[in-house]
Structure 1
Amino acid sequence: MSVRSGLSDKSGNAPVRARDASQAEQIIDTGQWLAALAHHAAILTHVDGELTVVRTNKTFAEAFPLATPQDSQGKKVSGEWAKKVMRFITSKRDVESFELRRDGSLGPEYFLCMIGNLPCASDGAPQYLFTAVDCTRERSVEKSLRRELLSDGLTALPNRAGFGEEIDDRICHSTWPENAQFGIIAIDLARFSRVNESLGPMAGDELLITVAKRFKSCLRQGDVLARIGGNDFAIFARLNNGLSDALQIVQRINDALSAPIRLSGLQIRVDCAIGCAISAGLDEDPDDVIRKAQAAVKIAKRSGKVEIYRNGVLKEAQRRFTLESKLRDALAQGGLTLAFQPLIHLQTGEITGFEALARWHDPELGHVSPVEFIAVAEESGLIAPLGRWATYEATQTLSRWDAKFGGPLPVGVNVNLSPIHMARDDVASMFEEALRYSGVEGKRLTAEITESAIVADPDKARKLLFALKDLQMPIAMDDFGTGYSNLASLHSLPIDILKIDRSFVFSMLEDRDKAVIVRTILSLAESLGLHVTAEGIETQELALELQRMGCWQGQGYYFARPMNEADAFDYWRARWNFETV
C-alpha cells in the first residue's frame, strides 16, 4: 500500500493540505482553537478605546473569572494586565510578552503572558490572542533558592550578598530626612578559631548562633544585621545623629557580649574588634562603606579599640592588597633581588661579611620599600617563601663568589629572620638545605633574629637556636635595646653577636643618654663574651668613637650603601688588603 493511499480516509475524503488552510478556518471553530491550547488563552478586541474579552478557553475562565464573558457580548477588562495589553496595542508591535503578578488566595501568583495580533473580525474590529502560563511554582522555587543564596544557613542572617541587597532596599524604599547618613559597623570575633580547635566545630556553631542573637538585641528598627564571613558580622545603621548613633550601637554590642557564654560546660567570654564607617550621603556606594568598615576593623584588631574609618585607610588597604598580589607574582617569577651591605671590623677596617637585604623593583609600582613589602609579607603569609628565597639566594651568592675567587672567601653573609617566619616554618631545615645545596660552611651564614621573636615563644626559639648552632651558624640578636631581652635569656641562649639598633648609634654624639646606653651594651656584651655590631654609622666621627669604645663591628652609609652582588664582590676585592677606619 502506498503512503499516499495510507493517509486517505476510508470514506474517500482526502486529508486537508496546506493550500487548503482556508477550509480549516471554516471547519474548526475559534473556540476549538482555544480549547486545544493547554494554557490560559483568550481572544481580545479593541474598539472605541475599550478592551474586551470576546472568547476564552476553560483554563482561562478558571484563572481569570472576572475577565471571562458570560455571553457572546464580551466583557470589558481592566487591571494591570489590561494596561500592559493596551500599551502593546498602541506600540503597533506584532507580539509582546510580560510577567503578571497578582495576589491569590494562597499568596502571590505569577503568569508569563504573551499578546499577539490576529486577523480582524468580520466587522473589521482588531483582534488579539492573549495567552498566560502559570509560573507560580517556578517563581516560588526561585524565591526559595534566592533566599538560600542570600542568607547564612547557620544564623539565618543575610550573608554578604544579601546584606548588600538589604541595604539597597532600605536606602531606596525608606523615607530619609535631608542630609541623612548611614553607617556600617563591622565586628570581628576574637579567638573564634581557638573555640573550634578546643571544643570542636559544633561548639563554634553554637557560639555564632548565640552571638548573633545577642547582636540582634542591639538593633533598632530599620537596622540590618548580617554575617558576612566566618566570624565576621556587620550592621547597617541609619544615623540621624551621625557618629553618636553609631557609638551608641557599639556600646550596646559591648554590653551584649559582657556576659559570658556557656559552651560545653565552660563559661566563655567573647571579645570582638569593632570598626565603623559612616557614609558621606545616601548616594555613596554601600559596598565602599562596607570595605571602609572592614579596613577599620582590621586596625581595631591591632589597636584593641573601636576604630572609626579615616580618609586614606581604604587606599592603604587597597595598596596592601595590590602589593600582596604583585609580591606573590614576584616571588614566583624571580622579581626580587638581594642587596649586600658590608660589615666592617672597626679595629682593622677588614670586611668581615655582608648583610643580605631584600629589594624589590616592580615595573608598575617602582621601588617598593622593604619596610612596606615585608610587613605585607608577614600579614599575608608570604614571609615564609620570602625568607626561604632570601636564605637560598644568599648562600648561592656566597657559592658564586667562591667560584669567582677560586676558593672560599674570608667573608660571610647575614640573613634576617622574621618572628612570623620562625613561627610558621621549619627554619632549621631551611638553613640546612640552603647550606647543603650551596656547599657553604655554616660558620659563614649568620642568622639575625629579633628580641621579639624570642619573647613570643621562648621554648621554640631556644630549640631553633640550638639547632642552628648544630649547623655551626653564628647567631646575632638584631635591634638590641629596642625589645624586651633580659640577662637570663642572653646568658642561656647561644647568641654570639648583639647588634645595637641605629636609633641609639645615629645620634649618640649629640645625645649623652644614648651614648651611655651604647657604652652599657658594650660593657654587658664584654661581660657575657659577646661581639657587638653597631648599625647606622654614617660619619667618620661615629666610627672613630665606636672604635675607641671597643666596638667590634659596624655597618652604615659611611662605609657603603647596600649594593648588588657584583658590586659587593668588587667592593670586597678592592679592600682586600684592609683599610683603617
Structure 2
Amino acid sequence: MPARFTVADGLEHAPAFPSPEPCVSGKRGVNHWLYALPQAAAILRLRGAAVEIEQSNALFDQTFPDHANAFLGVDARDGEEWSARIAAFQQSARASDSFEIRREGALSAQFLACTIGRLDDREAPGCRLLFTAIDRTNERVMEKSLRRELMSDSLTALPNRTGFGEEIDDRLAHWSKTEGGSYAVLAIDLIRFSRVNESLGPLAGDELIITVAKRLKSSLRQGDVLARIGGNEFAVFARLNNGLSDALYIVQRINDALASPVRLTNLQISVDCAIGCALSSSLSDDSDDIVRQAQAAVKIAKRSGKLEIYRPGVLKEAHRRFTLESRLREALANGKLELAFQPLVHLKSGEITGFEALARWHDEELGDISPAEFIPVAEESGLIVPLGRWALYEAAQTLAKWDRRQGEVLPLSVNVNLSPIQMSRDDVPSVVEEALRYAGIAGRRLTIELTESAIIADPDKARQVLAALKSLDAAIAMDDFGTGYSNLASLQSLPIDLLKIDRSFVSGMGEDRDKNAIVRTILSLADSLNLKVTAEGIETQTLAHELQSLGCWQGQGYYFSPALPEPDAFDYWRARWNFQTI
C-alpha cells in the first residue's frame, strides 16, 4: 500500500503518482477522481466554522504547498475572509460558486480562479465540498498590460482621455468628505500645432508634443495629474486648497513653462496655447462632465486669447455649435445654401458697378442662421474651404447667367470674400482660375475680398497668393480696413486695388468726430497710394453725399439696398440701369 500522511484528523493526501488501481467507491475512488482533474483540486470538509482539507491532488499540493495556511491565505484576515465565504456558500442554496483568489508572492501577486461545488455524501450530508483552482496570473498580467496601453498615450506615456477620467475618479474616491472636494480641470490646446505638422511633418509634430508634455509635467505640483486627451490637447487635474487662486497659479506656471521656443531641426518654434478651466466643489460631480466643461471653455479661449473659466451655458453653446457644424456639412453636401447679392454703387454717378456675394443659410430645423454665427463654425471645423469654393463657383456662374439673360456682357463685377483659413489651406489661385474658366467670364470682373488678418498670419504666402490672383486679372480688396494691424509697408508691397472702410467707422461718422477723422485719413491714404475706396454701412442719403464729397469712390449699405436673392438683384440692377443720381 503506498505511503500516506495525515493533515488533519482522519484526513489523507494521495501520493504524487498513485498506482493505477480499479476505481472503487470510498476514499480511494474519490482520490483517483481528483487526480483525473487537470487543475488543482481538493475535497474540503466543514467542521463547524472551520474549513479542513480532506483530500487533494498533486497540482493542489504544488499550488498550495503549505496546505491550509497557504490555501486560506498567509494573512490571517484573508484566511478568515475565505473561510467565511466558503461557510456562507455552504449555508446558501446554490449548487456551486466561483471566485478569484489573489495571493501575494515574493515577487508578484498570483491570481487563482476558483470554484466550489457540493458533493453528495451520505455519511456527512452537505459538509463536503469539491474545490478547484486554475492559475490565471499570466492572463491577469496580460490584461493589466493591455489595460495600461488602452489607458495611456503611446507617444508621451501620459494617461489618455479614458485614463484621465479613471485617474480623476480614483482620486475623488480616496478623498474624505471632511477634506472637501474642490478641484479644477484645465484643458490646454496647442494653437499652431497643425501648422507644424503641415510644414515640418509628423515626426516634428511628435517631437513637439513630447517636449511640451515634459515642460507641462515639470510645471505641475505634486499630486496634479497631467494627461494627453487629444492630438494637440492636454488636460490637468488639480486639487484646489485655496480656491481659484491655485488654478491661476498653475496656469501661470504652465505659461512660463511654454514661454521659451522649442527647437525643432534648425527652427525655433514658439508654442502658443489656449487654456480653459472648469471648477468643481463637490465629490459627487461627474468627472466626464467637468472635462467636457474645460474643453468647452478652451474653445472660447482660442477665440479670446486669454484664460477662460467655464460658466453655465457654455456647454449649451458648444452643443449649438456642434449642431450647426453637422447641419452645415449636410447643407453644403446637398446644396442647401444660397448667395445673396448686395449692390456696390458708384457714389458720383449712382451707377451700380457690381455686387458683393454673401452666403445665406436657411435650415429646415434651425431656421435662418446668421453668417456671423455659421462662418466662425465653418472656420473652426475646416468647412470654410468647401464653403469658400462653393461661393466662388456660384458667384462666377451667377454673373455668367446674368450675361446670358441680358444677351451681352454686363458692366458688372462680383466681390467674393476669402477666409484666412481658406487662404492658408487651399490652393486659392487654382480654384479662382477654375471658377472663371467654367463660368467663361474674365478675371477683371472678379474682386477677392480678404481681411488684414489673412495677410498678417502668413505674409509670404499672402504675397504669393495675391500675385497669382493678379496674374488672373482679378482685383484685390482689403476688407474691414482700419480694424486690424495694417501698415503702410504692407499696403505698398502687396498688389491691393481697393480698401473697404469698415461700417463701424462709416455709420457714426456724422456724429463722432473721431470716426469722421479716421474716414478722412483712410481716404487721404488711399489717394496717396492710388487705391480706390468702398465705404460699407451707408444707411442715409446724408452719409452718401458726405462720402461723395470727400472723394470716396464706391459705397454699399441699406440706403441703397440690403443683400438680395439672385433674381431680385438682377431686377434691381435693370431698374437702376442708367440711373445717374444718388
Partners of 1:386 and 1:314 in 2: how far apart? 26
| Secondary structure in structure 2 of the residue aligned to 1:515 | helix
- Check conservation: 2:90, 2:126, Cα contact below 8 A: no
Aligned-pair distance for 1:541?
Answer: 2.7
User: Which residue matches 1:30?
Assistant: 30
Aligned-pair distance for 1:463?
Answer: 3.5
Check 1:194–1:365 CA distance in 2 against 1; reply closer, same or farther (3 A cut).
Answer: closer
Partners of 1:480 and 1:200 in 2: how far apart? 35
Question: Does 348-357 or 541-550 show the bigger shift?
Answer: 541-550
- Check conservation: 1:47, 1:125, Cα contact below 8 A: no
Aligned-pair distance for 1:433?
Answer: 0.6
Q: Write the letter of the residue equivalent to 1:55.
A: Q
User: Which residue matches 1:72?
Assistant: none
Aligned-pair distance for 1:427?
Answer: 1.5
User: Which residue matches 2:289?
Assistant: 288
User: Which residue matches 1:431?
Assistant: 432
Check 1:418–1:271 CA distance in 2 against 1; reply closer, same or farther (3 A cut).
Answer: closer
1:403-456 Cα deviation digits (max 9, x unpaired):
333333332221111223222222121111101101122222222222333344
Aligned-pair distance for 1:250?
Answer: 3.6
Aligned-pair distance for 1:181?
Answer: 0.8
Q: Write the letter of the residue equivalent to 1:42.
A: A
User: Which residue matches 1:63?
Assistant: 63
Q: Write the letter of the residue equivalent to 1:40.
A: A
User: Which residue matches 2:478?
Assistant: 477
- Check conservation: 1:186, 1:233, Cα contact below 8 A: yes
Aligned-pair distance for 1:37?
Answer: 0.2
Check 1:174–1:63 CA distance in 2 against 1; reply closer, same or farther (3 A cut).
Answer: farther
Question: Does 221-230 or 335-344 show the bigger shift?
Answer: 221-230
- Check conservation: 2:498, 2:533, Cα contact below 8 A: yes
Partners of 1:349 and 1:165 in 2: how far apart? 68
| Secondary structure in structure 1 of the residue aligned to 2:533 | strand
- Check conservation: 2:159, 2:227, Cα contact below 8 A: yes
1:367-396 Cα deviation digits (max 9, x unpaired):
222122222222332222211110001111
After TM superposition, list the pairs within 5 Å mapping 1:267-346 onto structure 2: 273-300=274-301, 305-346=306-347
- Check conservation: 2:50, 2:83, Cα contact below 8 A: no
Partners of 2:205 and 2:541 in 1: how far apart? 61
* Residue 381 (1) aligns with residue 363 (2): no
- Check conservation: 1:499, 1:532, Cα contact below 8 A: yes
Check 1:569–1:520 CA distance in 2 against 1; reply closer, same or farther (3 A cut).
Answer: same
After TM superposition, list the pairs within 5 Å mapping 1:126-145 onto structure 2: 126-145=127-146
Check 1:448–1:364 CA distance in 2 against 1; reply closer, same or farther (3 A cut).
Answer: same
Partners of 2:500 and 2:438 in 1: how far apart? 29
1:305-341 Cα deviation digits (max 9, x unpaired):
4443344444434433333333223222222211111
User: Which residue matches 1:347?
Assistant: 348
After TM superposition, list the pairs within 5 Å mapping 1:153-172 onto structure 2: 153-172=154-173
After TM superposition, list the pairs within 5 Å mapping 1:502-513 onto structure 2: 502-513=503-514
Partners of 1:452 and 1:52 in 2: how far apart? 83
1:495-522 Cα deviation digits (max 9, x unpaired):
3333222112212222233233334434
Question: Does 325-334 or 391-400 show the bigger shift?
Answer: 325-334
Check 1:439–1:41 CA distance in 2 against 1; reply closer, same or farther (3 A cut).
Answer: same
User: Which residue matches 1:464?
Assistant: 465
What 5-or-longer segments of structure 2 have no aligned partner? 1-22, 70-77
Question: Does 197-206 or 522-531 show the bigger shift?
Answer: 197-206
Aligned-pair distance for 1:269?
Answer: 7.7
User: Which residue matches 2:543?
Assistant: 542
1:3-34 Cα deviation digits (max 9, x unpaired):
xxxxxxxxxxxxxxxxxxxx976898111111
- Check conservation: 1:61, 1:68, Cα contact below 8 A: no
- Check conservation: 2:172, 2:181, Cα contact below 8 A: no
1:454-490 Cα deviation digits (max 9, x unpaired):
3444443344334333323233222223233444544
Question: Does 518-527 or 565-574 show the bigger shift?
Answer: 518-527
User: Which residue matches 2:496?
Assistant: 495
Aligned-pair distance for 1:493?
Answer: 4.2
Check 1:198–1:434 CA distance in 2 against 1; reply closer, same or farther (3 A cut).
Answer: closer
Partners of 2:92 and 2:26 in 1: how far apart? 31
Partners of 1:396 and 1:303 in 2: how far apart? 38
Number of positions where the alignment pairs a residue of Structure 1 with one of Structure 2? 552
After TM superposition, list the pairs within 5 Å mapping 1:441-460 onto structure 2: 441-460=442-461
Partners of 1:507 and 1:259 in 2: how far apart? 44
1:35-55 Cα deviation digits (max 9, x unpaired):
100112223345656554433
Aligned-pair distance for 1:268?
Answer: 8.0
CA RMSD of aligned residues (A): 3.5
1:111-164 Cα deviation digits (max 9, x unpaired):
212223332333434543222211111111111221222223444332332222
User: Which residue matches 1:151?
Assistant: 152
Partners of 2:35 and 2:136 in 1: how far apart? 20
* Residue 91 (1) aligns with residue 92 (2): yes
* Residue 54 (1) aligns with residue 50 (2): no
Partners of 2:215 and 2:122 in 1: how far apart? 68
Partners of 2:236 and 2:109 in 1: how far apart? 31
- Check conservation: 2:175, 2:181, Cα contact below 8 A: no
- Check conservation: 1:121, 1:127, Cα contact below 8 A: no
- Check conservation: 2:277, 2:309, Cα contact below 8 A: yes
User: Which residue matches 1:43?
Assistant: 43
1:144-196 Cα deviation digits (max 9, x unpaired):
22122222344433233222211111111233535421112334457667887
User: Which residue matches 2:564?
Assistant: 563
Question: Does 385-394 or 451-460 show the bigger shift?
Answer: 451-460
Check 1:216–1:404 CA distance in 2 against 1; reply closer, same or farther (3 A cut).
Answer: closer
| Secondary structure in structure 2 of the residue aligned to 1:356 | strand
- Check conservation: 1:56, 1:68, Cα contact below 8 A: no
* Residue 360 (1) aligns with residue 361 (2): yes
User: Which residue matches 2:577?
Assistant: 576
- Check conservation: 1:480, 1:501, Cα contact below 8 A: yes
Check 1:35–1:274 CA distance in 2 against 1; reply closer, same or farther (3 A cut).
Answer: same
Partners of 1:266 and 1:238 in 2: how far apart? 37
After TM superposition, list the pairs within 5 Å mapping 1:114-133 onto structure 2: 114-133=115-134
TM-score between both structures, scaled by the size of structure 2: 0.83
Check 1:293–1:551 CA distance in 2 against 1; reply closer, same or farther (3 A cut).
Answer: same
Question: Does 556-565 or 214-223 show the bigger shift?
Answer: 214-223
| Secondary structure in structure 1 of the residue aligned to 2:236 | strand
User: Which residue matches 1:247?
Assistant: 248
Check 1:478–1:215 CA distance in 2 against 1; reply closer, same or farther (3 A cut).
Answer: closer
Partners of 2:494 and 2:264 in 1: how far apart? 41
| Secondary structure in structure 2 of the residue aligned to 1:29 | helix
| Secondary structure in structure 2 of the residue aligned to 1:580 | coil
TM-score between both structures, scaled by the size of structure 1: 0.83
Partners of 2:161 and 2:247 in 1: how far apart? 20
| Secondary structure in structure 1 of the residue aligned to 2:564 | coil
